[in-house]
Amino acid sequence: MSDLIKLQDRAMEIRRRYAQIEKQRDGVSWGATKMADGLQKDVQDLVEILQAKKLDQKKLNHELADCLWSVLVIARKVNVDLERAFWTTMLELDNRLDGELK
């Protein structure tokens, strides 16, 4: 089992706990779209941390982990093989950069 799958499995354990709370509170758990809204907020928080005059490493670590958690969960929810998608995208970027660097 890859490290990415282990991270994703752990992220989904936490996601299931959030889903229980959402169902109790709202009657329904978040879908991929609502999760993406949460990711958007996390990214905005990340931008604010990076724009601060003094970098708060603890906050930075937390927000990067929040963003990763959201990506891992969204990928699982929409059946994306994130590891395969990553390597495919890196190959595409390599090819594009090779073309631009000639």
The model's pLDDT over 32-87, given as tens digits with 9 standing for 90+, comes to 999 999 999 999 999 999 999 999 999 999 999 999 999 999 999 999 999 999 99
Question: What burial class does residue 1 get, using C-beta atoms within 10 Å of its C-beta: 0-12 exposed, 13-18 middle, 19+ buried?
Answer: exposed
Domain ranges of the chain: 3-100
Prediction pTM value: 0.91
CATH architecture of structural domain 3-100: Orthogonal Bundle (1.10)
Of 73, 44, 49, 75, residue with least CA distance to 61: 49
In the numeric block, the tokens 């590891």 are attached to: 83
Q: Dig out the tokens for 90 from the structure.
A: 């890196």
